[in-house]
Structure formats: structure tokens, C-alpha cells
Structure 1
Amino acid sequence: MDTRSSTNIEPPPSSVKTSFLKTCFNGINALSGIGLLSIPYALAQGGWLSLIVFLTIAVICFYTGLLLQRCMDSSSLVHTYPDIGAHAFGRKGRFIVAAIMYVELYLVAIDFLILEGDNLHKLFPAVSFRLGTLHIGGQQAFVLAATLAVLPTTWFRNLNLLAYVAAGGALASVILIGAVLWVGVLDGVGFHERGRLVHWAGLPSTMSLYSFCFSGHAVFPMLYTGMKDRKRLPMITLNLPSSSVAAKVAIYSTLVNPLTKYALMLAPVAEATESALGVSNSAVLGALVRTGLVVGTTVVAQAVPFFADVVGLTGALFGCTTTMLLPCLCYLRVRSKIGGVIKTGLETAACLAILAVGAVIVGFGTYSSVKQIHQRLR
């Protein structure tokens, strides 16, 4: 039975295929930037030994990325992440995977707006805007400005166009890393051994933030399916873990990064929404749907402007689920249903171990993030 026909929440893949180079730009843009920006805070929360957790999560996400690729290659009907859920668990699997994936991507888009508002407000604390009789200042003003900046990029309907925006994001990430190294090595700031070796109370938040660094799995199937030649790109999960000119370059690269990634994160959500509403073939109605989604992220970003806590919740509850739990569960199920796949006890043990680690991060990380958000809103 074709499980793809059981629900209409996921659109068919775009007929416009992307080249290997453009797919690389989209992939790097999906993975680099925001995770890198959250690592210093995560280290401060968990201590230097938390880098062991970082490397462990990196290895796990590398492996689960390969599991997703195996699931996609096991059937010609599998093109998206919800398709993987349907292939493994039928209609319910599709719905659960789609719901988790779209909520995660929507929260990531919200995180981008919060980050942009925070950074711009710190750079220009006295700036405010006036809309008629309405005076808007502080972080809220910059969140609205960021919304207007990213809105046109969300109207692009294929990955070929998004690749040009993604190229800017990839370049901004490279410049950011180079600028930070320049400040540390050549500007006299240096790299000093500070902070605690381990901070047990902060580890739940640290694990959540590290999980967010590698939460690109929800976008990978879309990028993989959209390639002209899928054999050229193995599904590998990577992340690019003052008053001087270099410091200013680093700051402005930080500002550019979220703006170039927003549309890519929102694209799967927008396509699914358009498909569900039956407006996939209308550019005008599609633009209206995407505008509505953007407005929704802006409202939430204004209501809960706590970047680290929202990122932690996204990484723990949704990011960890899409990068650790779902790939292992779907792969074990698909492997048991089809032939031609080598079954080993070591592979099963690895999946079960990842499921255990993921469950711990989801439980403790989600509790810690929700608790901190609740305390801030009181």
C-alpha cells in the first residue's frame, strides 16, 4: 500500500533540481552559524568538560544522518522526512514526524528573529521607530526590522533561488570564524583558560544547546531529494563547530547569519502549508501563506524574547527528537520490513544506545528550558 496517499500534509518534491554546488551552499547554510554562536554560552553553562558531550552529540548526529539516507534509498517513494515516517510506521508515522519536524523548523525561525533583535538592540540601544502614532523601541523594533528583511526571501519557491541566499550565509559563517580567530590571535585579546571545569547544574541546558547545533536533519531530506545527482552528496552531518576591525567584522557577520538561514528553515513548513490549503500552484496565494507564517514567528518572538532558553527548548525537545530518536526508530523499523539490508547486533546496539542518550537529553533538557522560560515570564 502506498503510504504517501494516506495524508496530504506533505507536498511532492520540487521538479526543479539543484546542482551539487548549490546543494552544498544550502547544506552549509542550514548547519553553520547559529549553533556556533550558542557554543560559548553552552560552555559557560556546562564547563570545559562539556566539550565531551559536544563531540558525542556530533558523532551521534553524523551516524543518524547516514541512517536517514539509508531509509531514503530503501524506497523510490521516500522523498521527505515525513515520507520516512510513513515508510516506517504508516500514516501515524507520517503525521508524528511531520508535526515534530515542522514545529522544530518554525521554532528555529523564531530563534533567528530573537537573536537578530537581541544583537541589533545591543549594538544600537537608542534606536526606535515610529509607525503613525505608535512608538516602537528596543528589541521589538529590531525584530520587526529583521522580519521585513527576511520576508522577501521566503517568497522564493525553489532551492535554486534559495542557494544564492545560502551562499551569503555560508560566506558569513566563514568570515565570522576568521574574524574571531583574528581577534584572539592578532589583536592581543588572546585565549585564556577561564571558567569551571564542569558545572553539573548547567549540563541540561548545555546538552540542549549542543543538540541544537546539529539539528539540520529536518532539512536534509529536502536537500537530498532536490539534487540532480544524489550519488554525489552522501548524507553527512557537519557543523562548523572589541573595537578592532576584526571584531566589528565578527559582529556584523553574526547579524547576517540569521537573515540568510530563515527562508531555508521556513521552506518545508511553507510548502506543507500550501499543499494542505491547496494553493501550491498559485504564486500569489503561496506568498500570502508564507507572509502569514512569517508574521506568526514575529508574534512569538515578541512574546518570548529569550534566545538561549528558546534555543535550548528547541534543541532538547524537537532538535534531539529529529536528530536522534526518529532516525533510529525509523531505521530499525524500515530495516525489519525490507530485505537486502545487513543486520548486525552492533548496529542495533548503537541505535539503542543513541535512543537512550536522546531520551535523557529530551527529558532533562526540556525540563530545564521550560523552567527557565517560566521563571523569566513571571
Structure 2
Amino acid sequence: MGTQAPENYAPANSQDGRSAQEKSIENWLPINSSRNAKWWYSAFHNVTAMVGAGVLGLPYAMSELGWGPGIAVLILSWIITLYTLWQMVEMHEMVPGKRFDRYHELGQHAFGEKLGLWIVVPQQLVVEVGVNIVYMVTGGNSLKKFHDVICDDKCKNIKLTYFIMIFASVHFVLSQLPDFNSISGVSLAAAVMSLSYSTIAWGTSVDKGKLAAVDYSLRATTTPGKVFGFFGALGNVAFAYAGHNVVLEIQATIPSTPEKPSKKPMWRGVVVAYIVVALCYFPVSLVGYWAFGNQVDDDILVTLSKPRWLIAVANMMVVIHVIGSYQIYAMPVFDMIETVLVKKLRLPPGLTLRLISRSVYVAFTMFVAITFPFFDGLLSFFGGFAFAPTTYFLPCIMWLAIYKPKRFSLSWFTNWICIVIGVLLMVLAPIGGLRNIVIKAKTYKFYQ
């Protein structure tokens, strides 16, 4: 599936011809401001971006899919997304002298200046803003679970709204860190936490053993319920593989020369990250479903109510992890916001602009999370609607458009298979997600 030079393009001159002011603005933006990352930065940034708290819902997805389809979907998703991630790493510097530091820049090269922007930016924003809102809810929920487990019904009940606000308060501070490299410590801690709480989840499941009357039949009892549940589970799995939306931005932080291109250290980090992803996803999914069957909750830590101290620790690990994940997904959004404010609206770059714009964004995600705390129930909808295109098949379409592999070659077949699977996922998963939204909305009360 080689990486032969794409047809019909000439070397770009990158920033040549730009004024000193334009270059200084470009270097001030968070994606471009630092390019001294090592390969292991790529590893833990990708782990933090990929292994979200959604891993704790994978046993539930297995209960909607069943053993055979569930294992097939997990393995196929791991292989396809690793392949499309490799494509994006390869395409980052395919034009001599130029780096595609942002997903939409690669889209513009593949589809044209305007069309590329309209294809990529809306989907990328849905993914990144959606993930940030989900992590606001997840962080608040995990803080509440930690509080409730520690208190053991001896404390006053505190509304979820307040825990979301506590979680958000951390991000009003962390969001002022200027770029990806400055959040590397937070990201490393988050990556360690993701592996830790995943290990607690499947390790405790093994310790408990199978339920006495474990049932591996599908969770739903009616045919429509089984079909919609299956579709929704596909979206949950798609949501678990969302790291592609920030991969080019992560690679942009790695130094590059013609002799030592950034793709080599980046790919080394990606391989390490995907090994960690496998160590998190597969044991949690398979052991959790093996132990509890269709009785497993949508969060495996809820099913594992004992030992209390260990579940409390695991929930705090989830909090630390989603703090890092929020920042990883927020950074490209900050970059887009600051690009518009500085380049389009001609506002002066500086601390004041960054303080106001980023604080407003954090406040927005907090407000939506407080208003719709069942937002994590929208995972299957967003998983199909936005995550499937940007993760499963958009890189393949770009590859076909740019490299133009020979028809019926291995590369051509591989990309078209990924495109077909990704489109099916994009169409089917939101159907299950919408049904889930309708069911939850019937019993929902605002600001409860």
C-alpha cells in the first residue's frame, strides 16, 4: 500500500512570502507554537485521545451485539482505525516543504480550498465539541460516584450539576496552557489513569467471576429493540476510536527535517498507543461481558459496586483521565477560535484574547453538560454521525483522491472496503442513537 508521490502537485513554499507579522501570528497559534515533541509524546497524547471513559461502556455494547458480532466489530474497528491513522501520519508531509498541521488543511489539499473546509471543519467540530461536553458529564458523574461511594449514604445528596461545575473549574485554569506540549504532563497522567482504571475494571470482574445465572442472550427482548440496540452499540464502538480528529495536530508538535521526517517518531508513538488501546479495550469488553452477560450496566464500574475503596479509586482515575482528554480535544478548537479572532476579525493576539475566548468555550461546554446530563447517551448518535466519517473513511477518500492508487490494486480495494464499512456505520449507528435519545427525553427533567 505504498506511499508513492501523489500526482499533479508541486512543492509548496510553506510560509515563504508571508510578512513577519503573519509568521509571528502563525507561530502564536497553539498548534504551530511548539515543535519539539518526542515520539513518546505522540504515544501518550494518542492514548489520552483514544481511550476515553467510553471504554467502560464497551461491555454494555457487547450485550447489545452478542459474542460473535461483538468480537468481530471490536477487532475490525481496531484494524481499520489503525490503518486510517497510518494514512493520516503518512499524508502529514506528503508535499515537500509543507506540513498539514490541521485536519482541515489536509481536507483542503484533497478536495479544494472551500470544499475541503466545509467537508472537514463541521465534522471535526461536532466530534471535538461533542467529546468535550461528554467529558464534562463523565467527569461530573465520576466525581459524584466517588463522593457517593466514599460517603456510603451518610452525606447529604449533592446534585450532579454541582459536580459538573467542580469539574469545569479545573478547565478554566488548564485551558490557559498555550499548546499541546504544555499539556504533556496532564496528558501523560491521563494515559496512565486510562490503563489503570481499565485494568481495575476487568481485574475486578475476573475476581468476582461469572454471575450464577449469567445470560449471554441479547439485552433486548423484542425484535425492534434488538435491531436498534445493535445499531446503537455500533455507534458506541465508533465513539471509542475517535483519536483521528487530533492526530495531525499532535504530529505538528514533532520536529521534522528531510532526513528525519516527523512520520517516523509519530508512527512509533501510534503503534505504542494502539497496543495500549488493545490492552484496555479487549479485556474490559470481553471480561466484563463474560462476567455479567446482559446484566452489565452501561458503566462497568456501576456493576462493580465492591470493593468500595477500589471502585472509588477507579472513579477518581476516570476524573483525572477525562481532565487530560478534555484538554487534548479542546486544543484544536482553541486553535480554530483564535485563528478566526486573530486572522479574520483582526483582534490583537495575546493573553487577554486567550483568557476570554477559552474561558467562554469552557463555560459553553459546562452549560450544555449541565443542561443535558444524559449527553453521554448521545454517544451512539455522534459515534455514527461524525466519528465514523472522520475516523473510518474520510482518510481513505483523501488517500484515493491524492495518491490515486491503481484500480483493483490492494490499496484501492482496502480503501474502498473501509469506505463501505464506514458509510454503513455512519448510516446505521445514528438510528439506534436517536431512539435512545427519544426514550431518555421522555423521563428527563431539566437541571435535575
TM-score by length of 2: 0.74
Q: Of residues 222, 242, 265 in structure 2, which corresponds to 1:232?
A: 265
Aligned residue number for residue 358 of structure 2:
290
For the pair 1:196 / 2:216, whether they are aligned, the reply is: yes
Q: Of residues 161, 175, 178 in structure 1, which corresponds to 2:196?
A: 175
Shift of 1:284: 1.9
- My pick for the range that moved more, 279-288 or 60-69, is 279-288
Aligned residue number for residue 384 of structure 2:
316
* Contact residue 71 and residue 334 of structure 1 kept, 8 A: no
TM-score by length of 1: 0.87
Shift of 1:125: 5.4
Write the distance in 2 (CA, Å) between the matches of 1:137 and 1:197.
37
- My pick for the range that moved more, 214-223 or 148-157, is 148-157
Aligned residues: 361
Write the distance in 2 (CA, Å) between the matches of 1:26 and 1:208.
23
Shift of 1:126: 11
For the pair 1:207 / 2:207, whether they are aligned, the reply is: no
Shift of 1:119: 2.7
Instruction: Give the gaps of 5 or more residues in structure 2.
Output: 1-9, 16-21, 151-156, 220-225, 257-261, 282-305, 443-448
RMSD over equivalenced CA pairs, Å: 2.8
Aligned residue number for residue 160 of structure 1:
181
For the pair 1:46 / 2:65, whether they are aligned, the reply is: yes
Residue by residue, what CA displacement relative to the aligned partner does 1:108-128 show, whole Å, maximum 9, x if unpaired? 00010111222333444599x
Aligned residue number for residue 58 of structure 1:
78
Aligned residue number for residue 106 of structure 1:
129
Aligned residue number for residue 74 of structure 1:
94
Residue by residue, what CA displacement relative to the aligned partner does 1:264-302 show, whole Å, maximum 9, x if unpaired? 111101111111011573122112111111111112112
* Contact residue 162 and residue 263 of structure 1 kept, 8 A: yes
Cα 1:149/1:65, change in 2 over 3 Å:
same
* Contact residue 64 and residue 328 of structure 1 kept, 8 A: yes
Cα 1:294/1:25, change in 2 over 3 Å:
same
Residue by residue, what CA displacement relative to the aligned partner does 1:72-95 show, whole Å, maximum 9, x if unpaired? 231124222111101100121123
Residue by residue, what CA displacement relative to the aligned partner does 1:144-174 show, whole Å, maximum 9, x if unpaired? 1111122211111112211011011012112
Write the distance in 2 (CA, Å) between the matches of 1:71 and 1:13.
17
- How do 1:259-278 residues align onto structure 2 when only pairs under 5 Å count? 259-278=323-342
Residue by residue, what CA displacement relative to the aligned partner does 1:180-217 show, whole Å, maximum 9, x if unpaired? 344234xx412559343556421111110111111100
Write the distance in 1 (CA, Å) between the matches of 2:423 and 2:375.
23
Q: Which amino acid in structure 2 is aligned with residue 319 of structure 1?
A: F
Give aligned-pair identity as a percent.
20
The higher radius of gyration belongs to 2
Shift of 1:333: 0.5
For the pair 1:94 / 2:117, whether they are aligned, the reply is: yes
Write the distance in 2 (CA, Å) between the matches of 1:304 and 1:95.
28
For the pair 1:27 / 2:91, whether they are aligned, the reply is: no
Instruction: Give the gaps of 5 or more residues in structure 1.
Output: 128-135
- My pick for the range that moved more, 280-289 or 84-93, is 280-289
* Contact residue 208 and residue 312 of structure 1 kept, 8 A: yes
Write the distance in 1 (CA, Å) between the matches of 2:92 and 2:420.
24
SS in 1 for 2:71: helix
Write the distance in 1 (CA, Å) between the matches of 2:42 and 2:319.
23
Cα 1:232/1:152, change in 2 over 3 Å:
same
Write the distance in 1 (CA, Å) between the matches of 2:434 and 2:180.
34
